[in-house]
A = this chain, B = another copy of it.
Amino acid sequence: MAKVAILGYGTVGSGVYEVLKKNKDVITGRLGDEIIVKYVLDLREFDSDPVQEVLVHDMEMILNDAEVSIVCETMGGEHPAYEYTKRALEAGKSVCTSNKELVEKHGPELIQLAKAHNCSYLFEASVGGGIPIIRPLRTSLAQEDILSITGILNGTTNYILTKMETEGLAFETVLARAQEKGYAEKNPDADILGLDACRKISILTSLAYGKNVDFADIMTEGITAITSVDFAYAKKMGATIKLFAKSVKKGDKYYALVAPFVVKPENPLYAVKGVFNAILVNANMGGETMYYGKGAGKLATASAVVADVIDCARHTGKHLHIKWEDEKLEISPIDGAVRRFFVRVPMADKAQIENVFGEVELFQDVADGECGFVTEEMTEVSYREKAAKFGNILSMIRVD
């Protein structure tokens, strides 16, 4: 029997409690053992909720109870989640978390600490909500040299872009509606500026290469500049626009960025609509695999935390090895990355454009007084030089 404590009875914490309760029989059957919630830590009271029976207000009770072997950190935020996690690991209790900020900031240290105390620090729920991606990277793809990871890692922005595409609406209109429906936060910056996706690709890239990516090294562009005119061009190209969080290994160089991309139907990520997330991994032996599902939401996220709990229960007294060293993974400047670019400029002759950009595919009659074109492949720095030379660029979106 494995005894568990849940830290925080908010959205995810109460979800973990619910998953463990509702699917008790299934879990016991698969694990061959029972998982019991012994404590739920929260400052509040929940009088009409059965959780009240196991509710405690003092972390010391959990830390001092040798019966508790697994702790679910579903508080969010850096403090006191960080201190509680450290103390739990030091007490030999495995910690399973959905706390992306903490993982991104302190992952290598907490993994090391878990190792030193023969327990585990697992964080499947920190990226992609209910989508299995951290565990597949650690197990199913352990034999692979990862060539690239491309993710739709933020449900809010994918929902906004999907609505802009299907209903022809402006960014601001869709954002306002998404906020009304609770799909977007009142302060949506972390989502729409790409910062949330950036933290997540930073975690995935660290795991893929075993060294620590500083998310500040990742060039990050949000979706605030995307307009319905951009979608009109995309439609003409038979494409759509997605916010991609991407990292690529090329020889001994690593590139990473978060930015909107023009995406064609040939890419399996093209079909990922609404609040769904997906991660496409390209590996040197098995080729492309994709992982798709709900990137957020109470039960999806909680379900991923419970998957980690079961993994810990299967490995009591053992450290589940995750290669993520403190050594920094050098992210190369984006300048050298090669791709095509979709560019909008005030109405111009093809000759005039090709004089600067080389051969392009031109799109006219989409919006008054302007045209759009897709360049051949070139480096980011080469694009920037040409754009500066041409002058008067209305907008640019990278092409996948």
Is A353 interfacial (CB 8 A cutoff)?
Answer: no
Give Cα distance in the complex from A329 to B302, angstroms.
29
Q: Which of A41-49, A141-149, A192-200 contacts B (4 or more CB under 8 A)?
A: A141-149
Cβ A270 vs Cβ B268 within 8 A = no
Can you list 18 A-B pairs with a CB-CB distance of less than 8 A? A19-B143, A22-B284, A23-B143, A27-B143, A31-B142, A130-B289, A132-B136, A135-B140, A140-B304, A142-B307, A268-B276, A270-B271, A285-B303, A286-B294, A286-B299, A286-B300, A289-B291, A289-B294
Q: Give which listed residue, B26, B210, B287, B323, contacts A130 with CB less than 8 A.
A: B287
Cβ A289 vs Cβ B293 within 8 A = yes
Which residue of B has the minimal Cβ distance to A298?
B285
The dominant DSSP class at the A interface is mixed
Is A230 interfacial (CB 8 A cutoff)?
Answer: no
Per-residue B-contact encoding for A148-184, CB less than 8 Å = 1, 0 else = 0000000000000000000000000000000000000
Give Cα distance in the complex from A171 to B285, angstroms.
32
* CB contact list, A286-325 vs B, under 8 A: 286-294, 297, 299-300, 302-304, 306-307, 309-311, 314, 321, 323
Give Cα distance in the complex from A19 to B289, angstroms.
17
A132 CB to closest chain B CB (Å) equals 3
Cβ B287 vs Cβ A293 within 8 A = yes
Give Cα distance in the complex from A32 to B19, angstroms.
34
Give Cα distance in the complex from A307 to B299, angstroms.
29
Q: Give which listed residue, B265, B276, B290, contacts A293 with CB less than 8 A.
A: B290
Is A51 interfacial (CB 8 A cutoff)?
Answer: no
Q: Which residues of B contact A306 (CB under 8 A)?
A: 143, 285
